[in-house]
């Protein structure tokens, strides 16, 4: 690690003010502060000295959201495996099948469900992280400020509230709209009044309703469509029949995106508060 620290220090003059790579300092600063704690400290008596900074807050939020990601991958794979068993599918012929066929499609297997779900979630998250990160870097370079770590949380929340079957090009378009229109046009982090993740999700919902709504989009199996628990309740008198055999305690939330939103909100607002990374008042001042 000392060699890496020495290397970063040696190339710092190239990116510092007056250096040949001055306009790319935001990229250097992003890498440097991601790997090491910044040396800058407050010097005036009027400043509050605290080890909690925005980077650490966002790191705790990112860690707190990891259980939501694990649950999302398992649930996506579990629902898909159950649906495949219902319609008699035993394998996938898509590129995802190159991996999922190795572990099988047993709905009772945690590994099979995790792998199947990961083959949908991971590509969505990577596209979100790469495309949104590029926009963050572009605006940081143009405006001459540092890249904000809050986007790591935004990328995770955005990928959690999308249907597993969302085309990757729509993922890229949605996060671009969310970052640029929902945050950067207002001046960036701390100045935006819209949540970029929800802004991108709302844009996709109104721009491509066929891929963002309905009973079929929440189960990652082609050709499978089934009514959700809320759909059955809405079609009847507002209640699900007690003797209905289509739902039990394991799949009562099948097809509902709201459980992901609930878990994301829980991880964002509740967990960091109890692990002591920030006070509620301090945490509420950020709109990720």
Residues 119 and 4 in one domain: no
Dump pLDDT digits (tens) for 66-80: 898 999 999 899 988
Within-domain flag for 76: yes
The structure tokens listed for 121 are 């979630």
Residues 17 and 154 in one domain: no
* Neighbouring C-beta atoms of residue 64, cutoff 10 Å: 22
Residues 76 and 219 in one domain: yes
Dump pLDDT digits (tens) for 237-272: 555 554 444 555 455 554 444 445 445 555 555 555
pLDDT confidence of residue 219: 79
Residues 9 and 125 in one domain: no
Within-domain flag for 288: no
Contact 72, 160 (CB under 8 A): yes
Average confidence score pLDDT of the chain: 76
Range of the domain at 12: 1-49
Residues 110 and 17 in one domain: no
Within-domain flag for 31: yes
Within-domain flag for 134: yes
Within-domain flag for 69: yes
Dump pLDDT digits (tens) for 189-225: 778 888 899 999 999 999 998 888 776 677 777 766 5
The structure tokens listed for 58 are 């966002």
pLDDT confidence of residue 44: 64
Residues 4 and 146 in one domain: no
Residue whose structure tokens are 């370079």: 141
- 83 or 216, which is more confident: 83
pLDDT confidence of residue 248: 52
Dump pLDDT digits (tens) for 242-251: 444 455 545 5
- What burial letters (b/e) apply to 132-151, b meaning 16+ CB within 10 Å? bbebbbebbeeeeebbbbbb
Mention every residue, 6+ apart, whose C-beta is less than 8 A from residue 73. 113, 114, 117, 118, 120, 121
- Number of domains present in the structure of the chain: 2
pTM, rounded to two decimals: 0.70
**What is the percentage of the chain residues whose pLDDT exceeds 90?**
23
- Give the rounded distance of the alpha carbon of 282 from its chain centre: 22
Contact 286, 192 (CB under 8 A): no
pLDDT confidence of residue 255: 47
pLDDT of residue 229 exceeding 80: no
Q: Which of 17-31, 98-112, 141-155 has the highest average model confidence (pLDDT)?
A: 98-112
5 by DSSP, 3-state: which? helix
**What is the percentage of the chain residues whose pLDDT exceeds 70?**
69
Residues 100 and 167 in one domain: yes
pLDDT confidence of residue 42: 62
Among 129, 119, 126, CA closest to 178: 129
Residues 70 and 45 in one domain: no
Residues 72 and 207 in one domain: yes
Among 87, 123, 88, 119, CA closest to 103: 119
Side-chain-facing half-sphere of 97: CA atoms under 13 Å: 8
pLDDT confidence of residue 288: 39
The answer to which of 7-11, 64-68, 90-94 has the lowest mean pLDDT is: 7-11
Residues 24 and 94 in one domain: no
pLDDT confidence of residue 263: 53
Residues 138 and 252 in one domain: yes
Mention every residue, 6+ apart, whose C-beta is less than 8 A from residue 210. none
Dump pLDDT digits (tens) for 133-179: 889 888 888 887 777 777 788 888 899 999 988 999 999 999 999 99
């Amino acid at each position: 690690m000392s060699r890496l620290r020495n290397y970063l220090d040696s190339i710092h003059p190239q990116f510092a003010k007056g250096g040949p790579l001055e306009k790319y300092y935001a990229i250097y600063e992003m890498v440097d502060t991601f790997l090491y704690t910044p040396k800058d400290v407050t010097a005036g008596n009027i400043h509050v000295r605290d080890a909690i900074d925005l980077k650490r807050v966002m790191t705790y939020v990112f860690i707190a959201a990891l259980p939501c990601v694990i649950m999302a991958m398992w649930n996506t794979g579990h629902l898909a495996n159950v649906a495949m068993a219902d319609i008699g599918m035993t394998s996938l012929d898509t590129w995802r099948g190159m991996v999922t066929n190795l572990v099988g499609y047993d709905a009772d297997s945690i590994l099979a469900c995790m792998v199947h779900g990961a083959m949908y979630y991971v590509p969505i998250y990577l596209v979100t992280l790469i495309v949104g990160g590029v926009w963050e870097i572009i605006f940081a370079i143009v405006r001459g400020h540092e890249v904000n770590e809050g986007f790591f949380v935004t990328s995770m929340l955005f990928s959690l509230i999308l249907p597993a079957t969302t085309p990757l090009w729509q993922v890229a378009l949605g996060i671009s709209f969310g970052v640029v229109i929902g945050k950067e046009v207002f001046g960036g982090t701390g100045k935006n009044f819209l949540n970029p993740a929800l802004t991108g999700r709302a844009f996709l919902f109104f721009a491509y309703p066929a891929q963002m709504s309905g009973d079929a989009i929440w189960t990652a199996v082609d050709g499978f469509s089934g009514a959700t628990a809320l759909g059955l309740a809405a079609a009847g008198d507002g209640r699900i029949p007690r003797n209905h055999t289509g739902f039990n305690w394991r799949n009562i939330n099948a097809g509902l995106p709201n459980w992901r939103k609930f878990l994301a909100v829980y991880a964002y607002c509740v967990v960091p508060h109890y692990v002591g990374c920030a006070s509620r008042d301090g945490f509420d001042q950020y709109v990720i």
